[in-house]
Chain A
Amino acid sequence: AQSVTQLGSHVSVSEGALVLLRCNYSSSVPPYLFWYVQYPNQGLQLLLKYTTGATLVKGINGFEAEFKKSETSFHLTKPSAHMSDAAEYFCAVTLVIQGAQKLVFGQGTRLTINP
């Protein structure tokens, strides 16, 4: 079945440490890939996206992600965490389901930053 999996519903890192949020997908066609961030009681904001071209994608707030087709992954990273990065992060992938393209979200990863 086609799906999106975010490994770890909660991730906690220290301020200044590396942030790594994992996303793996299952798709029968090359996907379009997105990372969104959601602050409490707000809508989702696009961090970055991969459609075609360079597999290392840079987004807002210092985040980047790399599309690895062989690993079917699109992990999100940031070299140095900031307190303001505390939020929930969603990986999203376009999948073909019953002949139609759908945007499917992972379950989300809540990122906590420790001072």
Chain B
Amino acid sequence: SQTIHQWPATLVQPVGSPLSLECTVEGTSNPNLYWYRQAAGRGLQLLFYSVGIGQISSEVPQNLSASRPQDRQFILSSKKLLLSDSGFYLCAWSVRVWDTEAFFGQGTRLTVV
């Protein structure tokens, strides 16, 4: 069966520090991968998606970047965190683009102080 792992579960980082959140998927190959951010009362915002190794599409201009160094690994990064980067970050995968459901990781609660 397929599983998705996302870590860390919680993170408190000072403003200006770097960020690296990692997500890995097991039990499938060539998944579509996504990073979402959930800010309080604002639903889920798609940040990045990837249909293959090295292929990243950015949905909104921001202080974050994403990379896919391996087929089942998706990394969310920042060189310098802002207070506005605080939120709940969710990684997800799907088999095909959008006609099947996405499966979500447990999320990372990021607090920038």
Contact = CB atoms under 8 A, between A and B. Distances in A.
Contacts of A41: 88, 107, 109
Describe A's contact surface by its main secondary structure: strand
A90 B44 contact: yes
Contacts, number: 53
Interface size class of B (residues with CB under 8 A): 20 to 34
Interface string B43-62: 11010000000000001000
**Which of A34, A36, A105, A106 has the largest count of B CB atoms less than 10 A from its CB?**
A105
B106 A42 contact: yes
Contacts of A90: 43-44
B97 A107 contact: no
Contact of B98 (A36, A101, A105): A101
Contact of A107 (B42, B94, B98, B102): B42
8 interchain residue pairs of minimum CB distance: A43-B104, A107-B43, A105-B44, A94-B98, A101-B98, A44-B104, A46-B101, A43-B106
